[in-house]
A and B are shown apart, each in its own frame.
Chain A
Amino acid sequence: MKIAVTASNNNGYESEVNKHFGRSPFFAIVDTKDDEIDLIKNSAAQASSGAGVQAAQLISDQGVEVLLSGSVGPKAYTALSSGDIKMYITKDDTVGKAVESFVNDELSQLSSPNGTPRK
């Protein structure tokens, strides 16, 4: 399955996890099938409004089923839930560690938005 992790920089599995979803500079898209990792730029980062919506659209279009992040705002939450994308909270500092924590069932799932919108 494909997992998206919010990333602050473009450094493969060593990329720093970005605390927030909507305006995260990058998304690390990891395919658990073959451990392939792809860092994509988040076009929503500069959106004047609805960054979370655009970011959700972006990762949904990548076929992502799971999102790992620090926080997800209300509109992003609605969009991701509608797309059946499960959201988990991670406090890990790198993408690699976050994915490992997820695979080991150590992360808790979000049941409501926990982020505030930001510009």
Chain B
Amino acid sequence: MKLTVLSGKGGTGKTTVAVNMALSLPNIQLLDADVEEPNCQYFLKPEFNQSEEIYRKIPEIDQTKCTACRKCVDFCEYNALAMMLDEVLVFPEICHSCGGCEKICPENAITEIDRALGVLKHSASEHDIDFWQGELNIGEESSVPVIEALKEKMDFKKDIIIDAQPGTTCPTIEAVADSDYGILVTEPTPFGLSDLKIASQLMDELKIPYGVIINRAEEESDHIIENYCEKNNIDILLKIPFKREFAYLYSDGIPFVIDYPEWQEKFKTVFAEIRGVLDEKNYSN
């Protein structure tokens, strides 16, 4: 089973859910796809034993072959190419690696070269979780190729949990796009609801089943989320309460299921519920 943990709003508790869930279940592979700022590591404290550089292609111009025709400059949608004094300048940071300029050059003056984009790190941490972390190099514009590379590490003999980037843009979509189920983590506030709506619309568009976990739940405010979920037939899988003790543990980088093992049972129940939803879906298909 492939589960992606996402949110609309940042800071709702995706990593909290992903990590604590992973620690509650056997046979888990955890992928940290929040490659701009992977945070699972602060709770798992992994010893990375493997690392793999990820590259993307950028153009290199042979100025001796270039006739300054400007076809490449005019073609590039991202302004990664400019012509100054009859020489083509390349701006690698904003190049989207589409490969178009190389194809369009009539003089074969453009070749593609590698540019370091990020790195994948692996650890089979002492918690017995097969853990891969993706990291995007500072200054790079797009997380998507790193997430694509990370997903190639998926081990289908395990149950896979993917911790996605906050929001609902390309990197989140790349992380969730071929998952079996999405766990949408939210908080019971107007902002939480506003962004939850966007995330749930995304999941509807992708036609992927999903459920909600309310983090920092409080009796006075949960209705903000519960009303929306009820009206839209969205399952609320779990409510994690707003507890000072959980916050202390979090700030010390300790997953709360370690100190509160009864919560491992709750995550196991959530997992079984999700499995039930998917079995039903497969059965009725």
A interface residue numbers (CB < 8 A to B): 44, 47-51, 53-54, 56-57, 60, 75, 78-79, 82-84
Q: Of the candidates A47, A60, A82, A84, which one forms a contact with B79 in the assembled complex, judged by CB atoms under 8 Å apart?
A: A47
A49 with B85, Cβ < 8 A, contacts A54-B79, A57-B73 known: no
Apart from A56-B82, A57-B84, A60-B83, what are 6 other A-B pairs with CB-CB below 8 Å? A44-B79, A50-B80, A53-B94, A75-B93, A79-B82, A82-B89
Residue of A nearest to B83 (CB): A57
B85 and A84 within 8 A (CB):
yes
B77 to chain A, nearest CB (A): 9
B84 and A49 within 8 A (CB):
no
Write out, one digit per residue, whether chain B residues 69-104 have a CB within 8 A of any chain A CB (1) or not (0): 000010000111011110101010110000000000
B87 and A82 within 8 A (CB):
yes
CB contacts (< 8 Å) of A54 on chain B: these are: 79, 82
B79 and A51 within 8 A (CB):
yes
A22 to chain B, nearest CB (A): 10
A53 and B79 within 8 A (CB):
yes
A50 and B84 within 8 A (CB):
no
CB contacts (< 8 Å) of B93 on chain A: these are: 75
B78 and A56 within 8 A (CB):
no
CB of B279 within 8 A of chain A? Answer: no
CB of B273 within 8 A of chain A? Answer: no
CB of B259 within 8 A of chain A? Answer: no
CB contacts (< 8 Å) of B78 on chain A: these are: 48-50
Residue of B nearest to A56 (CB): B82
CB contacts (< 8 Å) of B94 on chain A: these are: 49-50, 53, 75
A49 and B141 within 8 A (CB):
yes
Interface SS of chain A:
helix
Interface SS of chain B:
mixed
Write out, one digit per residue, whether chain B residues 246-261 have a CB within 8 A of any chain A CB (1) or not (0): 0000000000000000
Q: Of the candidates A44, A50, A83, which one forms a contact with B85 in the assembled complex, judged by CB atoms under 8 Å apart?
A: A83
Interface size on B, residues (CB 8 A): 14
CB contacts (< 8 Å) of A48 on chain B: these are: 78
B79 and A78 within 8 A (CB):
no
A50 and B89 within 8 A (CB):
no
A79 and B141 within 8 A (CB):
no
Q: Of the candidates A44, A51, A56, which one forms a contact with B84 in the assembled complex, judged by CB atoms under 8 Å apart?
A: A56
A50 and B87 within 8 A (CB):
no
A57 with B82, Cβ < 8 A, contacts A49-B94, A78-B89, A82-B87 known: yes
Cβ contacts A to B, 26 pairs, < 8 Å: A47-B79, A49-B78, A50-B78, A50-B79, A50-B91, A53-B79, A53-B89, A53-B91, A54-B82, A57-B73, A57-B82, A57-B83, A57-B84, A60-B83, A60-B84, A75-B91, A75-B94, A78-B89, A79-B84, A79-B89, A82-B82, A82-B84, A82-B87, A82-B89, A83-B84, A83-B85
A82 with B85, Cβ < 8 A, contacts A49-B79, A50-B91, A54-B79 known: yes
- A49, B79: Cα distance in complex, Å: 7
Residue of B nearest to A84 (CB): B85
B41 to chain A, nearest CB (A): 29
Most B CB atoms within 10 A — which of A49, A56, A79, A84? A49
CB contacts under 8 Å to A, within B46-88, are 73, 78-80, 82-85, 87
- A16, B25: Cα distance in complex, Å: 64
